[in-house]
Amino acid sequence: MKKAGFWTFLGLLLVLIPSLAWSAEEGLTDKEIVIGSHQDLSGPIAGWGIQTKMGLEMKAREINEAGGIHGRKIRMVIEDNAYDPKKAIMVTNKLINQDRVFAFIGNMGSPTALATKPLISGKKIPQMFPLTAASGFYEPYDRYSFLGFSPYYDQARCVVKYFVKEKKYTKIGCLYQDDEFGTIALKGVKDQLATYKMELTDAESYKRGATEFSSQIAKLRKAGVQLVVLGTVIRETVGAWREGKKIDWNVDMCGLTPAYTQYAVDLIQKAGSNPDGLYTSGQTEYPYEDSPLQSVKDWYKRHMALYGKPGDLPTTAGYAGVHYFAMAAQKVGRDLTREKFIDALETFRDVPDDVFGGVPITFTNQSHQGAYDVYMFQVKEGKWRRISGLVEYRK
């Protein structure tokens, strides 16, 4: 009986060993890869979070319908952070301990994603393409954190370079939000001007949530600036643009990616102003039905067929995050682990965005910034249109 019991036990062990090997890496089985994300689905930026969720799920669905990644299907688990850092930490713990995700993609918001970053990295779980351009996701170097989007500092430098080079402007001003975001934008403007031995002509700040910009715009006008770099988000961009038009000041104004949204354009129009002429930096083509890129037109049609409405930039960001995840996981092969996945990401060198025509992505074992450059966009006939090639301030 003892001998028979031993052989029965040995047989069961041999059967179980393969399944134990597959489950050694959390979030990974023989048939699926579990990916987590926390989005604002009910809070102040839920419009962005819901769009990002659709992009994440759309790309995962396309990958799964094509057979998965080396035979494994992606299972997305997306939780609501309500744009609240405390709730973001709570749902992240759930995704780690209950859902046992393999990686995180596209966590929404600077305060919420930054709040969960130490928790995720502490568990040695890869996190990539958060919906923010905050430098805290790549500085200092963190093996488990990958930004992917051009930071606000780099964007501001690129904007200044474009206008100094293309329009020969010498008098640059800045309107900036009195917080970390605005301060970083202001520093980028000053540092790029310094490379031309130029100084900032004037800088005016405002408190977050401000709705009145008459005094700041009046001071910038009095200083005689040729360009106002806008370290502003959506409504503040609209307010600054409207104030300029109100006093018949036809100065060039250029925002950063928080202003690069059709929502800002629509708000300007609803307020009775003409948005044509407004500039911004951006990373990808806007996903319009009449995009000049056929790949964007095709994506637009697929999105409409799936959701019955157009996508927006957050949708493309979520979609791109899963796209780059799949690219790295595919490169690793069947023997996928978190550490091998990170090693694969760190081999990315100027990897192009084949769908949205975005700026190339580079990750190394010393920097996880990802994107460094921008394209310039301008509103023409109520839509954002690309007006430049790649703007690289480092060259």
Write the CATH number for 222: 3.40.50.2300
**What is the per-residue pLDDT across 322-370, written as a single tens digit (0 to 9) for each?**
999 999 999 999 999 999 999 999 999 999 999 999 999 999 999 999 9
221 and 309 share one domain: no
pLDDT at 15 over 70: no
Range of the domain at 89: 32-150+294-364
**What is the per-residue pLDDT across 105-143, written as a single tens digit (0 to 9) for each?**
999 998 899 999 999 999 999 999 999 888 899 999 999
Number of structural domains (the chain) is 2
Quick one: pLDDT band at residue 19, thresholds 50, 70, 90?
Answer: very low
pLDDT at 22 over 70: no
* Contact between residue 42 and residue 82 where contact means Cβ atoms under 8 Å apart: yes
Quick one: pLDDT band at residue 179, thresholds 50, 70, 90?
Answer: confident
Residue 25 lies in a domain: no
Mean pLDDT for the stretch of residues 222-247: 96
Mean pLDDT for the stretch of residues 262-286: 96
Q: Rounded to an integer, what distance in angstroms lies between the CA atom of residue 96 and that of residue 89? A: 10
137 and 158 share one domain: no
Q: Rounded to an integer, what distance in angstroms lies between the CA atom of residue 60 and that of residue 146? A: 19
| Cα pseudo-dihedral 277, 280, 284, 290, rounded to 10 | -20
Which of the 8 DSSP states describes residue 351? Answer: B
CA atoms lying within 13 Å on the CB side of residue 342? 19
Which residue spans within 256-326 are E strands per DSSP? 279-282
257 and 142 share one domain: no
Distances (CA, A) of 231 to 12, 189, 228, 247, 256: 64, 10, 9, 21, 7
pLDDT at 97 over 80: yes
Regarding predicted confidence, which is higher, 180 or 353?
353
Quick one: pLDDT band at residue 394, thresholds 50, 70, 90?
Answer: confident
Quick one: pLDDT band at residue 2, thresholds 50, 70, 90?
Answer: low
**What is the per-residue pLDDT across 236-267, written as a single tens digit (0 to 9) for each?**
999 999 999 999 999 999 999 989 999 899 99
pLDDT at 20 over 90: no
101 and 175 share one domain: no
Say if strands 375-380 and 383-386 run parallel, antiparallel, or are unpaired.
antiparallel
pTM of the complete model beyond 0.85: yes
240 and 381 share one domain: yes
**C-alpha closest to that of 275 among 246, 238, 248, 243:** 238
pLDDT at 289 over 60: yes
The mean of the pLDDT values for the chain is: 93
142 and 196 share one domain: no
Residue 10 lies in a domain: no
For the stretch 167-188, what's the b/e string if a residue is b when 16 or more beta carbons lie within 10 angstroms of its beta carbon?
Answer: eebeebbbbbbeeebbbbbbbb
pLDDT at 233 over 90: no
Residue 7 lies in a domain: no
Amino acid at 356: F
Q: Give the residue ranges of DSSP H helices in 203-248.
A: 214-222, 234-246
36 and 98 share one domain: yes
| DSSP assignment string, 84-144 | -HHHHHHHHHHHHHTS--SEEE--B-HHHHHHHHHHHHHTT--EE--BS--GGGTSS--TT
259 and 382 share one domain: yes
127 and 266 share one domain: no
* pLDDT score for 208: 83
